Amino acid sequence: MKIALVQTNTVVGDIDGNLKKILKGMNKAREGGASLAIFHEMTLLGYPPRDLLELPYLVDRNRMAVEKVAQAATDMAVLVGFVERNPDKVGKPLFNSAAWCEGGEIKKIFRKSLLPSYDVFDETRYFEPGPVRDTIDYQGRIWGVSICEDIWNDPDFWDRRLYSRDPITELVGKGSEILVNISASPYSIGKFNSRRDMISALARRHNVPVVYVNQVGGNDELVFDGGSMVIGPEGNLVALAPFFKEGVTVVDLADSQTALTPVVDDMTLLEEALVFGLRDYVKKCGFKKVALGLSGGIDSALTATLAVKAVGAANVLGLLMPSCYSSRHSLSDAKDLAKNLKIATKEISINPMHSAFEKTFRKMFGRKKTDTTEENVQARIRGNLLMAVSNKLGHLVLSTGNKSELAVGYCTLYGDMSGGLAVISDLPKTMVYKLARYINQKKEIIPPACLTKPPSAELKPNQFDADSLPPYEILDGIIKVYVEDLRSEEEIIKMGYEKGVVRKVIRMINSNEYKRRQAAPGLRVTSKAFGMGRRFPIACRI
């Protein structure tokens, strides 16, 4: 039997557009000789829909679209994700469901049992858990269907489980000979390996093949990597669909031979995730061109490089905005980068505007000592110029700050934080350098000086990041264990970090939540990103 793993890049809320993609995927599956086409979680509405789920008319349209899928499934079976109303008057109003369509009708509906409400997920806000799992008989085999989180609770794989129920064991107990999981599992660094290992362990435990179909594409901060797969009953990889690419992968279930396992390089996937997420954000938000400030530093250099890969050099505009504190090499490095990338640039000195502000400040503040007020206004001038380009020319402004800066507040509200998307805001500074060097291995794009010179905001004479922050190797290590691993101050100090440095960094992280709340959305690539994945109060004391 041939089945099709169909990876679609859906647009949240675009039911008509998503339906067209489903019908197109079905046709490609037919052409490949598949008798069953399997789509990902919530295919028709797109994931995550968030509070679009509170719009009754959208839920109704999504349900009517399922009927159209069923009507097209006359000569094949189709498994597609959708949102279903809960007919009971008790419980949440919706189910996260999957429809098995066959013979021109909806033959069976499956409902998600385990509803994640951690990190970037908030499904208990909208959905009622499904009942005991059920199966379907298709072409003489019993198929057990589950949805995303239902597969992430194997008691033999996890040291700590989040749920008491194990839907997969329930499905196997009902005689399932093939397990299917339709998913919308977002990318993070290293996620594919853990996902594959988990599914392999589950297949071995129950001695059944597992078919896993994952969403692909960028939706706001989340990037979905695809990587749909078939795992044999012995835990062997039988088939693997491409990462970050729409398409139909046809697999013959009669062939359980181990596929050639590709080398899954974390840096390759990271680059693809950022490029794909940026491209989809621009396209799905209705933009065609982007603009960003080019300072000659590594952050703007990496962001510009990713932007060119995402939308093309002709659609990227770099603004060079030197001040009296800008070094000569910063300007030349920015120009060299632009030349390597073949992007258009505009050079605008901020000195006249900065001088006007300083004159006004002297009238406002008298003889008060110069401090960050005068420094930050330079960043805000640059932010205003970038936003003017956005308003006048219709470009999406990309902010260029990294995770290290965002963590400790080493960034300026309404200045370098201005923009519609923060492309590398989930990349620690050390990872910024690592990814930049990786990109340069293939072709030297980023000027070597950007990788070797000490980082500086250049807002006052002889200013360097190291004047205000610990070395980035130390800073990023503390941020990782505090923000991502949730370790306490005492635990971090016991790891060997200096007490005073740990306390300073933690204080800076906690006191700058107000800035992060006002930051542009950023692409999530680590296990714990600022934004929707970390919901801390602003006014708190910990």
Rounded to 10 degrees, what is the CA torsion of 526, 532, 533, 537? 130
Tell me the C-alpha distance between 62 and 53, whole Å: 10
Tell me the C-alpha distance between 65 and 67, whole Å: 5
Token representation of residue 242: 């491409």
Tell me the C-alpha distance between 309 and 463, whole Å: 32
Q: Is the pLDDT of residue 292 over 90?
A: yes
Span 441-469, pLDDT tens digits: 989 999 999 999 888 776 777 777 788 89
DSSP 480: I
Local confidence band at 323 (pLDDT 50, 70, 90 cut-offs): confident
Least confidently predicted of 21-30, 213-222, 319-328, 395-404: 319-328
Domain-wise residue ranges, the chain: 2-255, 271-463
**Mean pLDDT, rounded, for 303-314:** 98
**Mean pLDDT, rounded, for 300-322:** 97
DSSP 6: E
Q: For the chain, give the percent of residues with pLDDT over 90.
A: 86
Local confidence band at 261 (pLDDT 50, 70, 90 cut-offs): low
Q: For the chain, give the percent of residues with pLDDT over 70.
A: 98
If we measure between CA atoms, which residue out of 62, 63, 72 comes closest to residue 27? Answer: 72
Mean pLDDT, the chain, rounded, equals 94
From the candidates 21, 84, 101, 112, give the one annotated as an active-site residue. Answer: 112
Question: Which CA distances in Å does 85 have to 18, 61, 334?
Answer: 20, 12, 54
At which residue do the structure tokens 């004159």 appear? 359
Q: Is the pLDDT of residue 59 over 80?
A: yes
Do residues 238 and 209 lie in contact, with contact meaning Cβ atoms separated by under 8 Å?
A: yes
Terminus-to-terminus CA distance in the chain, angstroms?
Answer: 58
pLDDT of residue 260: 62
Q: Is the pLDDT of residue 130 over 70?
A: yes
Span 62-120, pLDDT tens digits: 999 999 999 999 999 999 999 999 999 899 999 999 999 999 999 999 999 999 999 99
Strands, E assignment, 400-511 = 421-422
Tell me the C-alpha distance between 146 and 99, whole Å: 11
pLDDT of residue 458: 66
**Percent helix, strand and coil across the chain, each to the nearest 5:** 40, 20, 40
- 271-463 classified as CATH 3.40.50.620: yes
Span 263-272, pLDDT tens digits: 678 999 999 9
From the candidates 148, 309, 480, 515, give the one annotated as an active-site residue. Answer: 148
Identify whether 363 is a catalytic site residue: no
Question: Which CA distances in Å does 139 have to 2, 3, 99, 142, 178?
Answer: 11, 12, 17, 8, 12
**Mean pLDDT, rounded, for 8-23:** 97
Span 169-220, pLDDT tens digits: 999 999 999 999 999 999 999 999 999 999 999 999 999 999 999 999 999 9
Question: Which CA distances in Å does 428 have to 446, 463, 487?
Answer: 18, 21, 18
Do residues 80 and 213 lie in contact, with contact meaning Cβ atoms separated by under 8 Å?
A: no
No. of helices (H) and no. of strands (E), the chain: 16, 19
Length of the chain: 542
Identify whether 148 is a catalytic site residue: yes
DSSP for 219-253 reads: ETTEEEEB--EEE-TTS-EEEEPPBS--EEEEEET
Residue type, 355: S
DSSP for 41-103 reads: TTTTT-S--GGGGG-HHHHHHHHHHHHHHHHH-SSSEEEEEEEEE--SSSS-SEEEEEEEEET
- 2-255 classified as CATH 3.60.110.10: yes
Tell me the C-alpha distance between 202 and 231, whole Å: 10
pLDDT of residue 326: 74
Local confidence band at 259 (pLDDT 50, 70, 90 cut-offs): low
Residues 6+ apart with CB under 8 A from 221: 120, 521, 522, 523, 524, 529, 531, 532, 533
Identify whether 41 is a catalytic site residue: yes
**Mean pLDDT, rounded, for 515-540:** 92
Span 340-370, pLDDT tens digits: 999 999 999 999 999 999 999 999 999 899 8
pLDDT of residue 455: 82
Tell me the C-alpha distance between 440 and 442, whole Å: 5
At which residue do the structure tokens 């000789």 appear? 33
| Angle at which helices 298-311 and 266-284 cross, to 10° | 70
**pTM for this one?**
0.95
| Residue 208 CB-half CA count within 13 A | 22
From the candidates 41, 128, 149, 221, give the one annotated as an active-site residue. Answer: 41
Local confidence band at 532 (pLDDT 50, 70, 90 cut-offs): confident
